[in-house]
Amino acid sequence: MEDGQRMYSQQGGLTNMSGNVLPQYNMGQDEPSDQRKQEIGDILQQIMTITDQSLDEAQARCRKHTLNCHRMKPALFSVLCEIKEKTVLSIRNSQEEEPPDPQLMRLDNMLIAEGVAGPEKGGGSSAAANATAAASGGQPDSAIEHSDYRAKLAQIRQIYHTELEKYEQACNEFTTHVVNLLREQSRTRPIAPKEIERMVTIIRKKFAAIEMQLKQSTCEAVMILRSRFLDARRKRRNFSKQATELLNEYFYSHLSNPYPSEEAKEELARKCGITVSQVSNWFGNKRIRYKKNINKAQEEANMYAAKTAAAAAANVGSEGGAAGYNVGGGQAGMYMNLNGGDNYQSSDNSVGDNVQNQVNALRHVISQSGGYSSDSMHSTPASMYEQHMNQQITPHSRSQNGSPHDPKPEDSTDSWCAGAFMQGLDGDGDNYDGSSDEPGLKRPKI
DNA sequence: GGGTATGATTCTAT
DNA sequence: ATAGAATCATACCC
C-alpha cells in the first residue's frame, strides 16, 4: 500500500465510495466497541453494495482504488474470504466427484458407433454401410441408396461438429469473461480463487447440459435416418424376375430336397445378385408356401419342369452337353441351364453327367405329360408323386453342412413336405376343404 | 383402394 | 445353428 497516504481525506477521515467522509478508524484509541462495530459494518456494507452502484468508469476506478487503499481492507478481506471459502467448500464438497452420466455415455457411444462423433470412418458408419448393403441385397440401386445415406450421415456429422464447436467456443468465451469479471471484482470483494474455479465448473456443467441435448438430437436424427434408409422391410424390393426364375429353377429341380448347401446358396446369391441370407430367406419362404399351397405350387413346378425339359432338349440338339443340369452334386454349378450362354455351369461337369441330367429332365417331363392338360393345374396325385419319385432318382446330397435339420438322402422321399403331399392326396382333389384339421397348415389366401 | 405376392423378421422347436 | 411357422410390412397388380 505504497500510496496509503492518499486514502485519507483532508479532514483525516476515510472517503467512502460516494465521496462521503467516513469516520476515522482509530485502532489505538479507547472508543466504545459498539461504535467500532458500527464503523466496520458501514465499511462492509459499502463493499457489498459497490457492485450494485452504477458508476461511470472513471468514478468506479477512483472509488475502487480508494477502497483498496484502505488500511483495514486486507484484514477485512481475508476474514471475509475465509468465511466465504468455508461456505464454498461445503457446497463444493457436496457437488464434486459425481459419477459420469450413463445417459451421456450411451449417447457418446452411439455417436461414435454411428461415425458421427470420433474419427471419420470412411464417410460414415461402416456398420451402417454393411447394413445398407445387406438390406438392399446388392441390387443396382443399393449403391445410390448407400451413397445417399452416407451423404445424409455426413451432413448430420457436420452439423453436429459445427454446433459442438460453437458451444465450446461460447463456453470458453463465457468462462473467460466470468473469470475476468470475478478476478476484477476480487479486488473489491472477497472472491477466493477456489470460488472462481467453482464458478467455472458450474458454467461448464451448464454447457455440458446443452451439449447433451445436442447429442440427443443428433442421435435421434441418426436413428430416423437409419430407419428410413436401412429398414429392410421399408425398402423391400422384389427380386428381379431373372433372380426369381433362377431360384425357382433350383427349387423345383431339387424339389425332393430343396435345401441348398452353403456353396449352392453362395452360387445362387452370386448369380441372383442377392445375399446368401436372402437366398436362405427365399428358400425358407418358398418351402413353407409350397407346402401351404401345393396346388398352385404344383402348377409352377410343372411349368419349370417343362422349361427344364425344353432347355435340355435344345441343348442336346445343339451343344451336346455344354449346359449343366447337375442334379447329383449339391454343389455350386448344379443348376439348370435355361439361359443359353449365361448359365450356371460347373467347370467340372462332364459331358456324360450333362447327358444324364438332360435325360432325367426329359423323364420328368414325360412323367408329367400324362396329366399335363388344361386342367392339370390340379395335377393328379399320381403324377405329382411320380415327379417326386423322379427327383428321387437323382437325389443330391446336401449333408455337407451337417445341419441337424438336413433331410437324409435315403429318406428324402419328400419327407420335407410329406404332410403337404398327404394333404394333396386326400382324395377329393381339394387340399383346403375349409375344415382342415391339419395342424400348422392354414387355408391359404387365394 | 383393396387384395395378393413377397421379402424379411421373430419366435419356437429340434 | 437351422428350419418351420407365423407375422409384418411393403410392393405390385387389378
Give per-residue pLDDT as tens, A329-353. Answer: 333 333 333 333 333 333 333 333 3
Higher pLDDT, A405 or A144: A144
Residue nearest to nucleotide C1 (CA to C1'): A403
Residue A297 contacts strand B, CB under 7 A: no
Residue A439 contacts strand B, CB under 7 A: no
Residue nearest to nucleotide B5 (CA to C1'): A238
* Count of positions (residues) in chain A: 446
Q: Calculate mean pLDDT across residues A234-246.
A: 82
Dist CA A275 CA A139 (whole Å): 10
Residue nearest to nucleotide C9 (CA to C1'): A233
CA-to-C1' distance for A446 and B3, Å?
10
Residue nearest to nucleotide B6 (CA to C1'): A238
Q: Look at residue A16 and tell me whether its pLDDT is greater than 60.
A: no
pLDDT tens-digit readout, A97-141 = 567 787 788 788 778 867 788 776 544 444 444 444 444 444 444
CA-to-C1' distance for A417 and C3, Å?
12
Q: Where are the alpha helices (DSSP H) in A187-293?
A: 193-230, 241-253, 262-272, 276-292
**Highest mean pLDDT pick, A76-85, A351-360, A405-414:** A76-85
Dist CA A422 CA A240 (whole Å): 33
pLDDT tens-digit readout, A177-222 = 988 888 888 877 777 777 888 888 998 888 888 888 888 888 777 7
Q: Look at residue A271 and tell me whether its pLDDT is greater than 60.
A: yes
> What's the pLDDT at A363?
44
Q: Which nucleotides of B are covered by protein (CB under 7 A)?
A: 3-10, 14
> What's the pLDDT at A85?
67
Higher pLDDT, A142 or A348: A142
Distances (CA, A) of A158 to A115, A151, A228, A368, A428: 11, 10, 20, 64, 68
> What's the pLDDT at A358?
41
> Which domains does chain A possess?
4-71 (no CATH), 102-230 (no CATH), 241-424 (1.10.10.60)
Q: Per the structure block, which three cell numbers stand in for A358?
A: 438332360
Residue A402 contacts strand B, CB under 7 A: no
In a 10 Å sphere around its CB, with 0-12 CB exposed, 13-18 middle and 19+ buried, how is residue A83 labelled? exposed
Dist CA A421 CA A431 (whole Å): 9
Q: Look at residue A6 and tell me whether its pLDDT is greater than 60.
A: no
Q: Where are the alpha helices (DSSP H) in A122-192?
A: 126-136, 142-185
Q: Calculate mean pLDDT across residues A362-382.
A: 36
Higher pLDDT, A295 or A105: A105
CA-to-C1' distance for A414 and C1, Å?
23
Residue A233 contacts strand B, CB under 7 A: yes
**N- to C-terminal Cα distance for chain A?**
102
Q: Per the structure block, which three cell numbers stand in for A195?
A: 470460488
Q: For nucleic chain C, which protein residues have CB less than 7 Å from any of its atoms?
A: A 231, 233-238, 259, 262, 280, 284-285, 287-288, 291, 401, 403-405, 416, 419, 440-442
Residue A135 contacts strand B, CB under 7 A: yes
Return all residues near A293 (Cβ < 8 A) that are at least 6 apart.
A444, A446
CA-to-C1' distance for A238 and B5, Å?
10
Q: Look at residue A422 and tell me whether its pLDDT is greater than 80.
A: no
> What's the pLDDT at A152?
72
| Nucleotide whose C1' lies closest to the alpha carbon of residue A262 | C2
Q: Look at residue A405 and tell me whether its pLDDT is greater than 90.
A: no
Percentage, residues of chain A above pLDDT 70: 45
> What's the pLDDT at A149?
66
> What's the pLDDT at A217?
81
CA-to-C1' distance for A357 and C3, Å?
29
Q: Is the dihedral of CA A153, A157, A162, A166 positive or negative?
A: positive
Higher pLDDT, A316 or A255: A255
Residue A241 contacts strand B, CB under 7 A: no
| Nucleotide whose C1' lies closest to the alpha carbon of residue A135 | B8
Residue with cell 451337417: A402
Phi and psi torsions of A370, nearest 5°: -55, -45
Higher pLDDT, A304 or A318: A304
Q: Calculate mean pLDDT across residues A26-43.
A: 64
Dist CA A376 CA A398 (whole Å): 31
Q: Look at residue A282 and tell me whether its pLDDT is greater than 90.
A: yes
> What's the pLDDT at A284?
92
**Highest mean pLDDT pick, A161-165, A302-306, A333-337:** A161-165
> What's the pLDDT at A332?
32
CA-to-C1' distance for A285 and B8, Å?
10
CA-to-C1' distance for A420 and C7, Å?
21
CA-to-C1' distance for A373 and C4, Å?
33
Dist CA A55 CA A62 (whole Å): 10
Dist CA A346 CA A349 (whole Å): 5
Confidence of residue A66 (pLDDT cuts 50, 70, 90): confident
| Nucleotide whose C1' lies closest to the alpha carbon of residue A235 | C10
Q: Calculate mean pLDDT across residues A349-360.
A: 38
Helices (H) and strands (E) in chain A, counts: 14, 2
> What's the pLDDT at A182?
87
Q: What is the mean pLDDT of chain A?
A: 61
Q: Looking at A37-46, A95-104, A218-227, A395-404, which range is the least confident one?
A: A395-404
Q: Look at residue A173 and tell me whether its pLDDT is greater than 80.
A: yes
DSSP of A380-446: -HHHHHHHHHHHHHSPPP-GGG--TTPPPGGG-SSGGGHHHHHHHTSSSS-S--S----TT-PPP--
Phi and psi torsions of A10, nearest 5°: -65, -25
Residue nearest to nucleotide B7 (CA to C1'): A236
> Can you give the pTM of this predicted structure?
0.41
> What's the pLDDT at A285?
92
Q: Per the structure block, which three cell numbers stand in for A46?
A: 459499502
Q: Calculate mean pLDDT across residues A266-286.
A: 90
Read off the amino acid at residue A133. Answer: A
Q: Is the dihedral of CA A110, A111, A112, A114 positive or negative?
A: positive
> What's the pLDDT at A56?
63
Q: Look at residue A55 and tell me whether its pLDDT is greater than 70.
A: no
| Nucleotide whose C1' lies closest to the alpha carbon of residue A136 | B7
Percentage, residues of chain A above pLDDT 90: 4
